[in-house]
Amino acid sequence: MLKNYLKKAVLATTLCYMYACTTNSPSNKELPSESSTEVSSNNKGKLFIIGGGPRPVSLIKRLVDASGIRNGGYVVILPMASADPADTVLFYSRRQFDSLGIKNIVAFSFKKGEKPAPSKIDSLSKATIIYISGGDQNKFMDIVGGTEIEKAILTAYQNGATIAGTSAGAAVMSEKMITGNALKYPDYESTFEVIEAKNLDIGRGLGFIKRGIIDQHFLIRSRHNRLITSIIEYPDLIGVGIDESTAILVQGDSAEVVGLSQVMVFENPERSAYQKNGKLGARNLRIHLLVEGEKFFLR
């Protein structure tokens, strides 16, 4: 365990030197970004994007407080990304909300190709919190993409709902979504061993974040190579890597780090990208390593 921890610490330190790492002191928590994410101004909602892993009560409490659900409303859990039965996902998700006094919770487990009952679509569009479980983001979007379900989620967000998601539920938040697949390596499991061209597989997410791309389980699974690949091949995007037990709370044009670990933000301000023998190169990339309470702009 200590060996793995030290390996990850050395990697993070090396990246900081390679890519001009910038961090802010607690007295300077606003981190402006030249190449940054756009969140539509035509909404009143918030995003609570969790990097996966254990979710401490303090993290869920921040979600509850941010949503305003104590003043009334209900939670809709969408478990479709998970391989577990909907009842199992509902049980574990409900337990955390219950511990904070939130009792009005329901799960809608939609199936691919089904025509949802209008009452469910109406309930989804009027939810106070919509919570998307972990699992397989491709499975979730295969069910939801281009349907009345997706429209209802977007309507809820525009009307003031807080859209939350963990792991796969985090990946679907951006318009360009990391699928989790590696095009050149079918047996790929966790991260990229090298930074090379035409390996990153991108799908369509829900599109709350237009000019950014989300990765999750970030530090603990050393997914730096995957997100660096993203900002080289898509240089107009910024990469946001959220570690486990950590989230970003997105309100308007800014995001705040919440939780136990860190968030890494990668930028390619000069849109630098080149190749040699299939390997990707870029110059003057920028990295920010952020801790709880720090903010970065998404405009």
Q: How many CA atoms lie within 13 A of 262 on its CB side?
A: 15
* In the predicted structure, residue 128 carries a pLDDT above the cut 90: yes
pLDDT range class, residue 110, cuts 50, 70, 90 = very high
pLDDT range class, residue 187, cuts 50, 70, 90 = confident
Which tens digit of pLDDT belongs to each residue from 133-177?
999 999 999 999 999 999 999 999 999 999 999 999 999 999 999
pLDDT range class, residue 28, cuts 50, 70, 90 = very low
Of 13 and 65, the one with more pLDDT: 65
* In the predicted structure, residue 7 carries a pLDDT above the cut 50: no
Tell me the C-alpha distance between 17 and 29, whole Å.
21
Is 232 within a domain?
A: yes
Tell me the C-alpha distance between 239 and 237, whole Å.
6
Sequence-ordered list of residues with C-beta below 8 angstroms from that of 113, at least 6 positions apart, any chain:
none
Is 7 within a domain?
A: no
* In the predicted structure, residue 287 carries a pLDDT above the cut 50: yes
Mean pLDDT of the chain: 87
When mean pLDDT is compared across 34-43, 153-162, 185-194, the lowest value belongs to: 34-43
Is 192 within a domain?
A: yes
Of 299 and 234, the one with more pLDDT: 234
Cα dihedral 47, 142, 222, 15 sign = negative
CATH number of the domain bearing residue 164: 3.40.50.880
Is 13 within a domain?
A: no
* In the predicted structure, residue 20 carries a pLDDT above the cut 70: no
- Residue in this structure with the two tokens 């190579």, named with its chain if needed: 225
Going from the C-alpha of 123 to that of each of 47, 90, 130, 200, 289, the distances in angstroms are 19, 17, 11, 36, 39
Of 5 and 181, the one with more pLDDT: 181
Tell me the C-alpha distance between 168 and 150, whole Å.
16
What is the average per-residue pLDDT within 265-290?
97
User: Containing domain of residue 55, as a range?
Assistant: 30-297
Tell me the C-alpha distance between 259 and 152, whole Å.
29
Which tens digit of pLDDT belongs to each residue from 193-213?
899 999 999 999 999 999 899
Is 65 within a domain?
A: yes
What is the average per-residue pLDDT within 228-247?
97
- What residues are paired with 280 via a beta bridge? 275
Looking at residue 81, what is its pLDDT?
A: 94
Is 10 within a domain?
A: no
Looking at residue 42, what is its pLDDT?
A: 60
How many distinct structural domains can be found in the chain? Answer: 1
Tell me the C-alpha distance between 65 and 62, whole Å.
5
**pLDDT above 70: percentage of residues in the chain:** 85
**pLDDT above 90: percentage of residues in the chain:** 76
Which tens digit of pLDDT belongs to each residue from 73-94?
999 999 999 988 888 888 888 8
